[in-house]
């Protein structure tokens, strides 16, 4: 047996594998299960092998063993067709061979790669039925697959029921929570892991940093960064990239740039892309372009993400000529534009008022335009109040089967801006008929390490009375500076006073007011919003930054706005 295993390892070509198979058959050892299984496994997963050949050999076996099945299932689990591994598992379950923990582990990995949620639950039942839950590695694999298919409840249940939890179990759940829109729970679990005496590794901090980036939890992010430096985890380029991303997404692009400059060998294109996108989110298009030139001098070849980041930077800064130049140069540098590049270019032109040119680019694309492209153009129609183009684009979106509330809301906004209330009503009726729900606006703010969430017109906070008093104080002070409510952002045919009251309780205003009453004088206030900031909130927060001498950073769905002394870093272009 040891001799055969040695021969299997020495098979470095497909020809060697076939020769060994012939040798095993002629010597009668092919029917000796361990030898045969080793050969099948090597043929199924090694670069020298052939998965189809391994499957063909398997079919010649009269009574395949559990290890034979495992070899084929493992091979397909790692292949471009992970669903085939699940099919082989079903075949095995219908036969006389009993599955073991490895069988379940390989098949669960196939489920994770194929995002097969229902099949994962079926195999989980088998794991329990066969008594495999005591296997810590199998438990981790099961947890990982639930996290990947976004069944975080089941992942948490598996985690809580595990007798032994190693670092890979913890990491799987932290990553799953961070990626599954439960960033707060991911950070809490990270802290619990530390209190239980486990030392976070590179994968752990990647998950925790991702959660902090999502929530804008800068205090916790800084603490994790200190741990990274202490443990020298910043020698890992992925960790460094995640730290750059953290600071950029939390509004501290200068700190992100410090981390970037501290990396001695910057040959990873992802590092450059992350920093370029950081400048893009903050509207610093010129700095992004400078960094691109530095990247070229460093000999790092840009990829499709590099150009997408640059186009986003030009878009947020209104650098139309630079954006067009970069787009037109892509193919000369070996990067073929994809639909996202076209989408960003359309958005760049549309925001700059070149709506017709943006429309012509969509119609001349070498691939079918997707919903996002038309949605970008519809957004431009709202900015420039182009009703005719908006109606045409909306019709196209309906034809394409869009059920996005944003598409209907944008058209409704355009009609409302022209006081076409009858058409606003028709749009709302269409939304009801198609059961389209409007996404509620909400905002986050971190104070003393705690995340506070506000919805529009939200009175649930325990300090609501103080928030309301602060909002009234703000209304009085900004009116003294000549503020007039931008009631065109209220899309109901109601009186002006009612419109002004509605605007007052937008979620970002509630979060800023909470920041004013909860933090010391001149302490920066940082807010994260799930939608784009509206024009009235933008105006009001500029005035608040001047009146209260506060730096206020708002990260909306598109980009950052840094308000200081009555001005915004976006220069009112967003």
Let me know if residue 547 belongs to a domain: yes
Tell me whether residue 347 is in a domain.
Answer: no
- Shared domain for 521 and 562, answered yes or no, is yes
The listed range with the strongest mean pLDDT (209-218, 239-248, 475-484) is: 239-248
The verdict on 89 and 152 lying in the same domain is yes
DSSP for residue 159: H
Residues 137, 50 within the same domain: no
The answer to the question of residue 451 being in a domain is yes
* CA separation for the pair 544, 352 (Å, rounded): 28
| CA dihedral over 312, 313, 319, 322, signed as positive or negative | negative
331 assigned to some structural domain? no
Residue 258, CB half-sphere, CA atoms under 13 Å: how many?
7
Domain with 138 in it: 63-165
Grade residue 455 by pLDDT with cuts at 50, 70 and 90: very high
Which of residues 200, 229, 264 is at a domain's end?
A: 264
* Span 283-317, pLDDT tens digits: 999 999 999 999 999 999 999 999 999 999 999 99
Share of the chain above pLDDT 70, in %: 92
Indicate if 29 and 145 belong to the same structural domain: no
Is the distance from CB of 51 to CB of 76 less than 8 angstroms? yes
Residue 169 half-sphere exposure toward CB, CA atoms < 13 A: 20
- Together in a domain, 45 and 70: no
Q: What is the mean pLDDT of residues 153-172?
A: 88
Last residue of some domain: 165, 200, 229?
Answer: 165
Cα separation, 221 vs 502, in Å, equals 35
What is the residue whose two structure tokens read 């930054």?
545
The residue-averaged pLDDT of 223-229 equals 96
| 551 lies in some domain | yes
Among 171-185, 189-203, 391-405, 541-555, where is mean pLDDT lowest? Answer: 391-405
Of 92-96, 460-464, 465-469, the least confident: 92-96
Residue pair 241/268 in contact by the 8 Å Cβ criterion? yes
How far is 192 from 170, CA to CA, in rounded Å? 10
The pLDDT, as a whole number, for residue 495 is 53
Q: Is residue 239 part of a domain?
A: yes
388 inside domain: no
What pairing do the DSSP bridges indicate for beta strands 552-555 and 525-529?
Answer: parallel
Structure tokens at 120: 């994962």
Domain count, the chain: 4
Give, for 23, the enclosing helix (H) or strand (E).
Answer: helix 14-26
Are residue 75 and residue 126 in the same domain, yes or no?
yes
Q: Could you tell me if 137 and 227 lie in one domain?
A: no
Q: Which of 116, 132, 165 is the last residue of a domain?
A: 165
- Note the pTM of the prediction, 2 decimals: 0.80
Q: Are residues 457 and 520 in the same domain?
A: yes
Confirm if 500 and 554 have CB atoms less than 8 A apart: no
Residues 33, 67, single domain; the answer is no
Q: Specify whether 558 is located in the same domain as 473.
A: yes
With cut-offs at 50, 70 and 90, classify the pLDDT of residue 38: confident
156 shares a domain with 99:
yes
pLDDT in tens, 380-429: 888 888 888 988 888 888 888 777 777 777 788 788 777 788 888 888 88
Exposure string (b/e) for 316-352, b if CB count within 10 Å is 16 or more? bbbbbebbbebbeebeeeebebeebbbbbbbbbbbbb
Average pLDDT value over all residues in the chain: 88
- Indicate whether 250 belongs to any domain: yes
Confidence at 4, pLDDT banded by 50, 70, 90: low
What pLDDT, on the 0 to 100 scale, is given for residue 559? 87
40 plus 148 within the same structural domain: no
Q: Are 123 and 141 in contact (CB under 8 A)?
A: no
- pLDDT score at 1: 45
Give the model's pLDDT for residue 215: 87
For the record, the structure tokens of 478 come out as 């900004």
Please tell me the predicted confidence (pLDDT) of residue 386.
Answer: 87
C-alpha torsion sign, points 12, 15, 20, 21: positive
Q: What is the pLDDT of residue 276?
A: 97
Predicted local distance difference test score (pLDDT) of residue 7: 67
Average pLDDT over every residue of 473-487: 88
Of the candidates 344, 429, 416, 428, the one whose C-alpha atom is nearest the C-alpha of residue 380 is 344
């Amino acid at each position: 047996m040891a001799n055969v295993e040695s021969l299997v390892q020495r098979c470095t070509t497909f020809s060697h594998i076939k020769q060994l198979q012939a040798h095993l058959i002629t010597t009668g050892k092919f029917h000796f299960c361990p030898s045969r299984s080793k050969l099948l496994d090597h043929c199924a997963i090694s670069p020298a092998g052939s998965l189809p050949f391994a499957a063909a050999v398997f079919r010649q076996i009269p009574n395949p063993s559990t290890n034979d099945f495992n070899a084929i299932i493992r091979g397909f689990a790692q292949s471009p067709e992970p669903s085939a591994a699940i099919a082989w598992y079903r075949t095995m379950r219908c036969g006389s061979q009993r599955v073991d923990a490895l069988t379940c582990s390989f098949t669960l990995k196939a489920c994770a790669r194929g995002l097969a949620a229902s099949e994962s639950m079926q195999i989980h039942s088998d794991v329990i039925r066969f008594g495999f839950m005591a296997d810590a590695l199998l438990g981790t694999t099961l947890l990982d697959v639930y996290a990947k298919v976004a069944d975080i409840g089941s992942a948490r249940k598996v985690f809580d029921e595990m007798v032994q939890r190693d670092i890979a179990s913890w990491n799987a759940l932290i990553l799953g929570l961070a990626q599954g829109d439960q960033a707060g729970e991911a950070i809490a679990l990270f802290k619990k892991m530390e209190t239980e005496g486990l030392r976070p590794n590179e994968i752990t901090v990647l998950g925790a940093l991702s959660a902090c980036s999502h929530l804008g939890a800068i205090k916790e992010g800084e603490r994790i960064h200190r741990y990274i430096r202490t443990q020298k985890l910043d020698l890992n380029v992925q960790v460094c990239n995640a730290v750059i991303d953290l600071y950029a997404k939390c509004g501290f692009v200068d700190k992100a740039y410090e981390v970037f400059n501290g990396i001695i060998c910057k040959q990873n294109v992802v590092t450059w892309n992350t920093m370029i996108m950081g400048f893009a989110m903050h509207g610093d298009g010129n700095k992004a372009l400078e960094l691109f030139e530095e990247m070229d001098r460093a000999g790092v070849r840009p990829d499709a993400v590099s150009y997408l980041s640059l186009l986003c930077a030009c878009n947020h800064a209104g650098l139309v000529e630079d954006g067009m130049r970069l787009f037109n140069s892509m193919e000369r540098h070996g990067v073929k534009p994809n639909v996202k590049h076209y989408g960003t270019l359309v958005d760049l032109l549309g925001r700059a008022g070149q709506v017709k040119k943006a429309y012509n680019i969509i119609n001349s694309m070498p691939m079918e335009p997707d919903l996002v492209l038309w949605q970008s153009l519809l957004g431009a129609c709202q900015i420039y109040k182009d009703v005719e183009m908006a109606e045409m684009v909306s019709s196209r979106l309906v034809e394409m089967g869009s059920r996005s509330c944003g598409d209907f809301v944008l058209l409704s906004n355009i009609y409302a801006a022209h006081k076409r209330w009858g058409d606003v009503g028709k749009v709302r009726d269409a939304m009801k008929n198609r059961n389209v729900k409007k996404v509620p606006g909400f905002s986050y703010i971190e104070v003393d390490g705690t995340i506070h969430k506000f919805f529009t017109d939200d009175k649930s906070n325990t300090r609501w009375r103080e928030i309301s008093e602060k909002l009234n104080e703000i209304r009085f002070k900004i009116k003294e500076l000549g503020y007039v409510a931008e009631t065109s952002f209220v899309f109901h045919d109601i009186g002006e006073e009612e419109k002004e009251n509605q605007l007052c309780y937008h979620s970002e205003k509630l979060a800023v007011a909470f920041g004013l009453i909860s933090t010391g004088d001149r302490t920066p206030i940082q807010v994260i919003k799930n939608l784009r900031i509206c024009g009235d909130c933008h105006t009001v927060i500029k005035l608040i930054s001047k009146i209260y001498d506060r730096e206020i950073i708002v990260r909306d769905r598109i980009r950052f706005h840094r308000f200081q002394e009555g001005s915004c870093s976006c220069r009112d272009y967003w």
